Chain A
Amino acid sequence: MKLISSAALLLAVIGVGSAIAQDTPFKTDANSSSSSANSKAQAVKYLFPEQVSVAAGKDAVIDLHFKINEGMHINSHTPRDKNLIATRLIVAEPQGMEIGTVDFPAGSDYALAAMPNEKLSVYSGEFVIHAHVQATAGQHMFEGALRYQACDVNSCYPPRQAPIAVSVIAK
């Protein structure tokens, strides 16, 4: 019996070991990618909160924190050129929760070196948007995405969506 248990343990260990070994080359490759080479990745990450508590049936504000990759910027909510793609919040309103206005910060001025007089309105670094909500008693899931279009100093990338998920507990 002991012999059978040992054999089973050995099988399990070898199985796990081989799975790790198989993943290694791909993990190494992905880790070595520079941000520029890995440009198809998200330029914006949702930071926090993951959970908030609000007063049931009363107006509340959820502050959503984001971080933009170093060396990149995204258009603000109010870009100056109508062709530029504004940063927007896309939210599916859950049952028992109303989402009102969403306040975006003002953008900062940014100009390409080759066009110093053409100022763009952008976000860079970390920023916060404020979502006004009202929820009935209970637990709700505030799910959505931040739609943005990012650029670095030489290139612009197609619009993408950074996912957001916040558990809202209304008491």
Chain B
Amino acid sequence: MKRNALVIVIVLAAVTVMVWAGVVNYRHRKEENAKLRQLQAMVAESARASGPADGSADIVMNPLQGQMAPTFTLKDTSGHKVSLSDYKGKAVIVDFWATWCAPCKVEIPWLEQFHNQYASQGLEILGVSEDDLDLDNKAKLAQQKQDIATKATQMKINYPVLIDDASVSTPYGGIDGLPTTFFIDRSGKVVASTVGLASRDEIEADIKKALSSGGKS
């Protein structure tokens, strides 16, 4: 009799623990799902705000849209330090590229032309190289930096080319597909971005958006 009572107590305790665990688990899942839905809604809203892409580049669902562009300081191919904050009051394109990226070879000549065309209105461009760097091997690192500089010269890039030491791509959303291009207005806000090769017209429209917002043109 005593044994049966003990068994019943154990079973009741076990069932109570299970019910409690189930409730906690259910609440946790509900919260996670709510967070997920909220995030998806934010991303969808951000994509709508940036306007529809014309099909040449991926639809960008960038969480930086409408946010202040993450600041950075990197060295250019001559070893000079360049900071995004040096360009306060100007519209800035931050273009992530690599020497091995074929679509970047299509986009960069357009950026060079736009730089000539819109510099007088306050447009600056920063090319950020995402080429692999061997930070543990000085000789190899020097050669890799030289290769980037040589490629930039061959491509006649007429704006600063900066070498990312892996510190910049993460705050910009973990750059994966190249080219990835951010358009920053005069107040430092990201007003547009593209992943992959966008059309020339789309890039020009984004430049105009960056030039016309965030301060005096």
Complex interface bits, B164-186 against A, C-beta within 8 A gives 1, otherwise 0: 00000000000011110000000
How many residues of chain B get a CB closer than 8 Å to chain A's CBs? 38
30 contacts between A and B (CB under 8 A): A3-B7, A3-B8, A3-B11, A14-B22, A18-B22, A21-B29, A22-B25, A83-B99, A83-B100, A83-B147, A84-B102, A112-B197, A114-B106, A118-B105, A151-B102, A151-B103, A154-B56, A154-B196, A155-B58, A155-B103, A155-B177, A155-B178, A155-B195, A155-B196, A156-B98, A156-B103, A156-B104, A156-B177, A157-B178, A158-B98
Interchain nearest-CB distance for A18 vs B (Å): 5
Contact A25:B176 (CB < 8 A) given known A3-B7, A4-B7, A151-B102: no
CB distance from A122 to the nearest CB of B (A): 10
Q: Tell me, in angstroms, the Cα distance from A39 to B176 when the chains sit together.
A: 7
Interface residues of B (CB under 8 A from A): 4, 7-8, 10-11, 14-15, 18, 21-22, 25, 29, 32-33, 36, 56-58, 98-106, 130, 132, 147, 151, 176-179, 195-197
In the complex, which residues of chain A have a beta carbon less than 8 angstroms from the beta carbon of B178?
155-157
Residues in B whose Cβ lies below 8 Å from that of A149: 100
Residue of B nearest to A84 (CB): B100
Which B residues touch A11, using CB under 8 A? 14, 18
Interface of A, secondary structure class, is loop
Question: Do the beta carbons of B36 and A29 come within 8 Å of each other?
Answer: yes
Question: Bound complex: CA of A158 vs CA of B98, how far in Å?
Answer: 9
B176 with A157: CB separation less than 8 A? yes
A136 to B32, CA, bound (A): 55
Q: Which residue of A lies closest to B174 (CB)?
A: A40
Nearest CB on A from B64, distance (A): 17
Q: How far is the CB of A126 from chain B (nearest CB, A)?
A: 22
Known: A3-B7, A4-B10, A7-B14. A158 touches B99 (CB 8 A): no
Q: Tell me which of B11, B14, B29, B196 contacts A22 (CB under 8 A).
A: B29
**CB-CB contacts below 8 Å: A142-171 with B:** 149, 151-152, 154-159
Known: A18-B21, A115-B105, A155-B58. A25 touches B36 (CB 8 A): yes
Contact partner, A85, options B56, B57, B100, B179, Cβ 8 Å:
B100
A residues in contact with B33, CB < 8 Å: 25
Other-chain residue from B11, B14, B15, B58 in contact with A36 (beta carbon distance below 8 A)? B58
Contacts of A112 in B (CB 8 A): 102-103, 106, 197
Given A154-B58, A155-B178, A156-B104, 15 more contacts at CB 8 Å? A3-B7, A7-B11, A10-B14, A14-B21, A83-B100, A85-B100, A151-B101, A154-B57, A154-B196, A155-B58, A155-B103, A155-B177, A156-B102, A156-B177, A157-B177
| A154-B147 in contact given A7-B11, A112-B102, A159-B132 (Cβ < 8 Å) | no
